[in-house]
Structure 1
Amino acid sequence: MQPFMRHRRLRANETIRQLVREHHVHIEDLIYPLFVVEGEDVKAEVPSMPGVYHYSLDRLQEELEEVKALGISSLLLFGVPVEKDEHGSQADHDHGIVQKAIRYIKQAYPSFYVIADTCLCQYTSHGHCGIVENGEVLNDPSLSRLSATAVAQAEAGADMIAPSNMMDGFVYAIRRGLDEAGYEHIPILSYAVKYASNYYGPFRDAAHSTPQFGDRRTYQMDPANAREAMREAASDVSEGADMLIVKPGLAYLDVIYRVRERFDLPVVAYNVSGEYSMIKAAALNGWIDEKAVVMETMTAFKRAGADLIITYHAKEIARWLRQG
């Protein structure tokens, strides 16, 4: 008779468990989002995201010093301007807040790899990710604005452009704009699969980007669809994307897995604001072990196939990893 399998032999103690562990989270896997704002002497905690702050440029140094000391090398920049208008004019302005932040970081901390989020929602008075006319978000007119924004960010010194707007053809338009402006060497980290998710609430609090009417379901994806995600990702690959984001991450591990299986580009999981805030809230109430749950979540992203992870937990994870 065939004896039953003794799987527990490889779980007997921590040493053997570490030896046979299939997936690992490294500091190099982490991309840390930063929110920069206009003004002076601003370090303001986002109410719905404990531990996440708005920084004015004169207060950014203290955060960057800490991030650098922890060994995190990649940043994703979001800007929160004071002035907003119908066309998001500050998005591609020479003195737009993201452009100023990029120039500051690249001058003061050239070793940081700076990724610029490229969208219009933070800059428009209506809060949508494109040009609006008669209550409709227009696709093609939005592309030129997005391309101009990407070029402005590249001119400021961004190492990578991360367009998050979900307009049809946005990767093509931005790739063409960058190439024509002489930035053919700048890669595109595409928000290739971005769902119209309810997990974004705290981010909209942080970015001041809540739509003033309607929602974003005409351009962000229906959470019920997985096959559609493959079409979206395939389009971005054909248009010139260098890396692919799946957003949100935790509720869409199956989609991360599908994208990983289908495409050979680097895949990035976005551990979004709602996922972060739920863990923080539970931890602050003493309901969970924060470190254990965060690391289990990060491991899940890696197990699903993510090469990199955008996460607001990045500093904490780096501390835990360095502590061993």
Structure 2
Amino acid sequence: MRILILGGSGFVGRAVAAAAVARGWDTTVFNRGRRDPVDGARVLLGDRLTPGGLTALADGTWDAVVDTWSADADAVGAAAGLLRGRAGHFSYVSSRSVYLFDESGATPPPVTEDAPLVAADDPGYAGDKLRGERAAEAFAGPLLLARAGLILGPHEDIGRLPWWLNRLHRGGPTPAPGPQDLPLQYIDARDLAEFLLDAAEAGHTGPFNLVSEPGHTTMGELLAVATEITGGHADLRWLPPEQILAAGAQPWTDLPVWLPPGPIHAFLHQGDVSRALAAGLRCRPVRETVTDTWAWLRSLPGAAPHRADRPPVGLDHEMETKLLA
């Protein structure tokens, strides 16, 4: 297979490129050249946000294309249109955020690929991803929409799991958001990558919810394993959701990965993945994701890379002190 990855040196795109090279595929990545490429991948340089930025893609044919773009949908449409007729399959890495959340507070049923979507003019991340999906239709060929949920694993550049691992390694009394049996649904970037490659080979099209099965792990298991892997220095102090919220700590940002039980948690962690499982999705155990992410962090000469378009995550000293008090 000859594959083109639009991105290919960051987080998800890097996982796709590494998996393709490991399979012996002829792998090309297109990006701005700001990070070291995957060994074995051919690099085409360009900035899709500048005039003439896609010139490097003017020629060539591929069996499959994977686009990981998450911002302005015009960039997705421009690339998809340029590659129309020159590739056999196109995958756009979207998000489960495109589904419409019921603001009434009702607990939603497991969200399937047929669930209602946000408005096309939604100004946030969800709208960007939905507009990206529609822009990808300019490819006018076999199109797969990879609606991923929470993505973890080595090379994560948002900082959720890396923050927890570094904090737990530092040790001492550590706020742990409960309940311990709170189920989590996520996907390792490498499992997402393998699914995308398999789906391209098989010619799968349409939307797929791409996360683990609901309850793949729990908050308790995640932090217990992470504490063990990082040296066993942390003393987890489990706190009830009510206490955390009363202190003003923000779910998902101050305490990465965590959402309190309720409708939003159900919306994000009880998605229906039966279609993806039937198409071959397989998810590795949480211990493997934690172990490999920690090994990657320890191999870095400095801090982990962080996306400029995402705010930092994790508790500051003042909020941590407040929670522990």
User: If the TM-score is normalised by the length of the shorter chain, which range does it land in?
Assistant: 0.3 to 0.5
Q: Of Structure 1 and Structure 2, which has the larger fraction of its residues in helix?
A: 1
TM-score by length of structure 2 reads: 0.33
TM-score by length of structure 1 reads: 0.33
